[in-house]
Structure 1
Amino acid sequence: MTAPGSLAIYVGAALAEIAGCFAVWTWMRQGASVLWLLPGLASLALFAWLLTLAPSEFAGRAYAAYGGVYIAASLGWLWAVEKQRPDTWDLTGAAICVLGAAIILFAPRTLGS
């Protein structure tokens, strides 16, 4: 799979997971209707399905690479949805995590390693 295809899977999975968790957060922490759980659960199911499309022979490696993308996407959510601009430390940490995710995902490996 190409790097843009892999990135699209991970970004889609991150947005689905964040949206699903945000729905639960909104219900539990902000007193929203229990009906928030319906799209939240659907979103979390979409997240799980998308992550199975990740280009890795091993789930643990796919999840590890996804973690870096999730961190960056979470800061995007913070800014776009919660209207809190990430600070320099947020952005520096996310850049380090995304670099780590790229190394995990795109490092040359022999078959089965």
Structure 2
Amino acid sequence: MPAYAVYSLAALAEIAGCFAFWAWLKLDKPIWWLIPGMASLALFAWLLTLIDSSAAGRAYAAYGGVYIAASLIWLWLAEGVRPDRWDLTGMVVALIGSALILAGPR
């Protein structure tokens, strides 16, 4: 599976897991929300191990750009807040950085 597909799935899993904690602590959702949230975070961690990289730190660094983009998509679709031009500019910069890390000759 291509790296960006794995990263996209990992980002969805991480954001969903973290949102479960957010919902419990900030939105007064019941504590049982943490059960699927923790499962989602475990899935996120496992997905990152599928990245073909000789160093975990490099895989995590490249993932950061995808996470930023996924977070802004979550902001818009799940929270109903439209990203502004600064959000989108930052996202593009982060994705370019991610691509440089993934595509750099080694």
1:48 is matched by which residue type in structure 2?
A
Aligned: 1:65 with 2:81 = no
1:30 match? 27
2:96 match? 99
Aligned: 1:15 with 2:12 = yes
Give the TM-score of the pair, scaled to structure 2. Answer: 0.98
1:68 is matched by which residue type in structure 2?
G
1:85 match? 82
Equivalents in 2 of 1:82, 1:56: separation in Å?
A: 34
CA displacement at 1:18 relative to structure 2: 0.2
Equivalents in 2 of 1:24, 1:31: separation in Å?
A: 10
Deviations 1:55-94 (A, max 9, x none): 2110000000000100000000000100111000000000
SS of residue paired to 1:90: helix
Could you list the runs of 4 or more consecutive aligned residues of structure 1 that deviate by over 3 angstroms after TM superposition? none
1:43 is matched by which residue type in structure 2?
S
Give the TM-score of the pair, scaled to structure 1. Answer: 0.92
Equivalents in 2 of 1:57, 1:10: separation in Å?
A: 16
1:29 is matched by which residue type in structure 2?
K
CA displacement at 1:108 relative to structure 2: 1.0
Aligned: 1:51 with 2:48 = yes
Equivalents in 2 of 1:69, 1:57: separation in Å?
A: 19
Aligned-residue Cα RMSD (Å) equals 0.8
